[in-house]
Structure 1
């Protein structure tokens, strides 16, 4: 089968990102400039928003200082874009549904991948990197994708987008790395084989870290963990860190080889504790701020924010919205937590960057537990 690789011209190229050689706990641009990952969660951006809505979303996130968006490429094998154009032919992951032309006014020409191209280009113009999840974990867990199919599709996807300047590869997708490991390892190896210019991370299941399985994988550049959406009383899984997301950073920070790490999915703003019961309290801006500062002060290379309505791009026409969502995506753009994330980024970038370390020893008071915990960080000339 002949696959076409259509890459539009770029108006602007962003600097390549890399792990810092000065301090591999952190990220930098190829010119050595500090890069603080401030992510937003827009999982269904490619499939739910039209061109005008995507521009509205990207403009807002750029204005609020976000520089990374975590987005699914394929949520399901039957995924379509905003007006029903399927990404795949016959739900076959090895058959991207590519049409001739890319005119958005022509339904016979403007396909799912053209729309994805458009959004990536618009993000690039706004200084935003796209952390792309090639295959969401649920697809793999259903057993409908073989290792060879995953390799063929990933090869095509990487060749299509490897020349883009604003790509980060986000393997996995809310899944444990010890399940279907051969597929996740294959995807990682294929990405690295065909693209040695972009960073690769792995987005794991709730209350786990990619370091549990892939710390020594040559393809993995950045660890992500998902501290998840459960409160202290709800979290019964090992290691039962509950809301203490800083503990995942502490664990990853001490591992060798040294790799940057960050909380890629803390509790989303405006989502119920534990996700599934709308009668539970909802996580607030106070909570997401706490997770952000805790994890970054503990040594994180950044932080990814999320909002219940925006991660699923909830719209009035949605028949089955998830997780007891209470507002639409465009109403949630100005949620207080989203507006406040930029201050953490500004704080970290206002100080010397690569000499920053976590250091609890500088605290005078005894260490407190749970919500009373105080995280401390310092550089050579600040604390």
Structure 2
């Protein structure tokens, strides 16, 4: 690592801190909670604000931000993450027990007794978490707080009574902030120490009923399995994980069908078929630049086209948003910390990688069309669909169709599924958000393929609308 570069970045961080008010004013930061607090939509599929404005969750993963960042780095991270189009940052406030932050302060100096946690003149562990939440607030972003990672719970480092004390502390400390989303769990199954998860969730919910709550499960599992009936669970989350097709590598617990490892859309379909219906999203798909299967650093790495595929597959299958992750950013890798999973670059380089930059085009696309009447609908694909990478996934509203095609295979669309005797069609690029007009068509079935040819990662979104609407012209 070039330490001159690090020093330069730290100077830049300080400059950002000193001029943050002017920068935020000039960049016209959107403050979403001015539309009211987040709630589940009336149709139980999406999130919205109290005034009815839709909220498309676009998450960035920074699990170790509380333990590996200083204030200047938090400032820089929040500013760049907002510029990249994200509106949620997922962090883990107690990733291990014990836990220490970059300033050398312990999270639990007195165990789970928080009575005297704040001392005059001391900038402690939790004040740094406060700083993260406040900087996200000033940047117009939500913080998804994973309260405790699954490892300490699985190893019984947190009892039910500890969970109640900790939940009370968290809820009383952070309920005042408008940008909090509670995430119970932390890469663990819901039936591992379930009494601890329940105690943590219900304690927080009893004190703070104004913020949404979910559960982040282990790879290849979904919260629907254990908690869908719980009143504290507002929406479901799944972790599709980091394995490629037919990559099991000795996992003893593998609760999905063989050779479907990358089919994250299956979790969405499963969850939306369960009653009571609750919104769902992929809270941890394959990270950009992480080895296939995680543990072998010499394995192939997931690339930008892979993270795009996971995002569009999940959302078009019915998710209300999506969380992106990068190998280096999720662990906030920087000099002085040992890398996990073969990560090499510092996080301040990783946040400029292509996949990280391209997620904003998904959010832009989904908010360009009538939001709440959108449903997944594979019946609009009228020819034989493909499997695995060749699966085309479609979603539609009353007067528009969106179809994501990862390989640009020839696809026939039944345009009668939406209104209008005439239809217009466009190609939308998930790589750069560009739009190109295809033409106008009579109602019926029509075959489409982009002229760039067939191939994995040559992904496109086909947009078809009633010829009388102007969503593409007005919003894209």
TM-score by structure 1 length? 0.92
How far has the Cα of 1:120 moved from its partner? 0.6
Structure having the higher Rg: 2
How far has the Cα of 1:364 moved from its partner? 2.5
**Contact 1:133–1:169 under 8 Å retained in 2:** yes
Q: How many residues align structurally?
A: 364
**Contact 1:89–1:97 under 8 Å retained in 2:** no
How far has the Cα of 1:100 moved from its partner? 2.6
Q: Of 119, 122, 139, which residue of structure 1 is paired with 2:135?
A: 122
1:46 aligns with 2:66: yes
**Contact 2:41–2:48 under 8 Å retained in 1:** yes
Q: Match of 1:16? A: 37
**Greater relative CO, 1 or 2 (CA 8 Å, sep 6+):** 1
**Contact 1:88–1:97 under 8 Å retained in 2:** no
Q: Of 182, 188, 207, which residue of structure 2 is paired with 1:194?
A: 207
1:227 aligns with 2:240: yes
Q: Match of 1:256? A: 275
Unaligned runs of 5+ in 1: 1-10, 102-107
Q: Match of 2:369? A: 351
How far has the Cα of 1:261 moved from its partner? 0.2
How far has the Cα of 1:296 moved from its partner? 0.1
Unaligned runs of 5+ in 2: 1-28, 402-476
| Cα distance in 2 for residues equivalent to 1:360 and 1:127 | 35
Moved more, 141-150 or 218-227: 141-150
1:83 aligns with 2:103: yes
Q: Of 154, 157, 160, which residue of structure 2 is paired with 1:141?
A: 154
CA RMSD of aligned residues (A): 1.5
Q: Match of 1:70? A: 90
Alignment of 1:1-383 (within 5 A): 14=33, 15-21=36-42, 23-90=43-110, 92-95=111-114, 98-101=117-120, 108-235=121-248, 237-240=254-257, 241-318=260-337, 320-383=338-401
| Cα distance in 2 for residues equivalent to 1:195 and 1:270 | 37
How far has the Cα of 1:145 moved from its partner? 1.3
**Contact 2:376–2:396 under 8 Å retained in 1:** yes
Q: For 1:114-162, what per-residue CA distance to the aligned partner results, in whole angstroms no more than 9, with x for missing partners?
A: 1111111110111100010111111111112110111111111101101
Q: Match of 1:104? A: none
How far has the Cα of 1:96 moved from its partner? 7.2
| Cα distance in 2 for residues equivalent to 1:173 and 1:97 | 27
Runs of 4+ in 1 over 4 A off after TM superposition: none
**Contact 1:140–1:180 under 8 Å retained in 2:** yes
**Contact 1:77–1:93 under 8 Å retained in 2:** no
| Cα distance in 2 for residues equivalent to 1:242 and 1:96 | 46
